[in-house]
Amino acid sequence: MTKPYDDFELKHVIELTVYKNDLVKEFETSENYYEAIFEHTGAATVIIEEDTTISLANSEFEKLSGYSREEIEGKKSWTEFIPEADQEKMKEYHRLRRIDPTLAPLNYDFRFVDREGVVKNIHLDIGMIPGTQKSVGSLLDITELKQFQEALAKSEKKFRSALDNMMEGCQIIGYDWTYLYVNDAVSRQGHFNKEELLGHTMMEMYPGIEDTELFAVLRRCMGERVSDHFDNKFIYPDGKTAWFELSIHPVSEGIFILSIDITERMKTQEEIMIKNTLLEEKIKKEQERLQRKG
């Protein structure tokens, strides 16, 4: 026959039972909390075992892979989603991470193959779960970003090629007056090759330019972020001169200068002016002669 509890023992049993129930509730609450985070993190997330098996996957990973959790959890290795050419490197990361987490990268980009064989570009953040041989990985699909970057790079290459081959001079001057970009036309106009100009300041290449009216306009365009358009007579260090039609515009890197060599045009205009002056003088003299005769 069981001995009945006395009041003290009964109180202890009740307190212990309540305590256990509280612990269970706390554990369940904690477990639900972390499950909710895992499920609603916003990124495809998986827990990976030492043998490469995916033991847990959230709904975002289902969407990314094209497989259901029932098909993934405890059945699939992460290696099944990796192109063969990339597997050796990533398997080595997996091995090293379990020896010493600092030996493998915490994040990197890789290619991922889904159920339909579509290759996606993925950014991975991964780390070990303390006290275990499990790792947790968060996968972000950056395929569209990669495609945009590639398209942008192609566009920039085309744009740069167009600028490089323009008849007009194109140059970008940084806020510190350093040549950031010059095309072939600027090289011809400036009497320096591109390698000599790039990375150097205007003041280094053309001593005294900071005291010219041209530089005053450049400084205003740079500081006030305004555009300007004018003709300028440029004097080279060797004393030679040339005329340029300049269009200056503020850009994120500093200022953009478009220059057209109008030296021949200005010479022609000057010759026409001289001829007109001579003709006017000749007409004036002829009129004076006729007046004296009359």
- Please enumerate in sequence order all residues whose Cβ is within 8 A of that of 66, keeping only pairs 6 or more positions apart, or say none: 114, 115, 116
Give the pLDDT score at 285.
78
CATH number, domain of 253, equals 3.30.450.20
The reply to whether 142 and 185 lie within a common domain is: no
The reply to whether 131 and 223 lie within a common domain is: no
The reply to whether 142 and 54 lie within a common domain is: yes
Domain boundary among 89, 119, 147: 147
- Please enumerate in sequence order all residues whose Cβ is within 8 A of that of 31, keeping only pairs 6 or more positions apart, or say none: none
Q: Is residue 294 part of a domain?
A: no
Domain that holds residue 254: 165-267
Q: Is residue 278 part of a domain?
A: no
Q: Is residue 75 part of a domain?
A: yes
CA dihedral 149, 155, 157, 161 (to 10 degrees): -170
The reply to whether 126 and 180 lie within a common domain is: no
Domain boundary among 117, 147, 177: 147
Give the pLDDT score at 245.
94
- Please enumerate in sequence order all residues whose Cβ is within 8 A of that of 201, keeping only pairs 6 or more positions apart, or say none: 176, 177, 178, 179
Give the CA count within 13 Å in the CB-facing half-sphere of 25: 6
Q: Is residue 227 part of a domain?
A: yes
The reply to whether 140 and 215 lie within a common domain is: no
The reply to whether 46 and 94 lie within a common domain is: yes
Q: Which residue has the tokens 């915490």?
A: 106
Q: Is residue 60 part of a domain?
A: yes
Give the pLDDT score at 138.
92
pTM: 0.52
Tell me the C-alpha distance between 269 and 286, whole Å: 25
Question: pLDDT digit of tens for each residue in the chain (294 aa)?
Answer: 444 445 555 555 555 555 555 555 554 555 565 676 677 777 899 999 999 999 999 999 999 999 999 999 999 999 999 999 999 999 999 999 999 999 999 999 999 999 999 999 999 999 999 999 999 999 999 999 998 888 888 878 877 777 778 889 999 999 999 999 999 999 999 999 999 999 999 999 999 999 999 999 999 999 999 999 999 999 888 889 999 999 999 999 999 999 999 998 888 888 888 888 888 888 887 777 777 776
Q: Is residue 16 part of a domain?
A: no
Number of domains, the chain: 2
HEC-encoded secondary structure of the chain: CCCCCCHHHHHHHHHHHHHHHHHHHHHHHHHHHHHHHHHCCCCEEEEECCCCEEEEECHHHHHHHCCCHHHHCCCCEHHHHCCHHHHHHHHHHHHHHHHCHHHCCCEEEEEEECCCCCEEEEEEEEEECCCCCCEEEEEEECHHHHHHHHHHHHHHHHHHHHHHCCCCEEEEEECCCEEEEECHHHHHHHCCCHHHHECCEHHHHCCCHHHCHHHHHHHHHHHHCCCEEEEEEEECCCCCEEEEEEEEEEECCEEEEEEEECHHHHHHHHHHHHHHHHHHHHHHHHHHHHHHHC
Q: Is residue 291 part of a domain?
A: no
Q: Is residue 105 part of a domain?
A: yes
The reply to whether 136 and 212 lie within a common domain is: no
The reply to whether 169 and 260 lie within a common domain is: yes
C-alpha closest to that of 205 among 217, 196, 214: 196
**C-alpha 264 chain-centroid distance:** 43
Give the pLDDT score at 2.
46
The reply to whether 138 and 45 lie within a common domain is: yes
The reply to whether 96 and 172 lie within a common domain is: no
The reply to whether 102 and 135 lie within a common domain is: yes
Tell me the C-alpha distance between 26 and 142, whole Å: 38
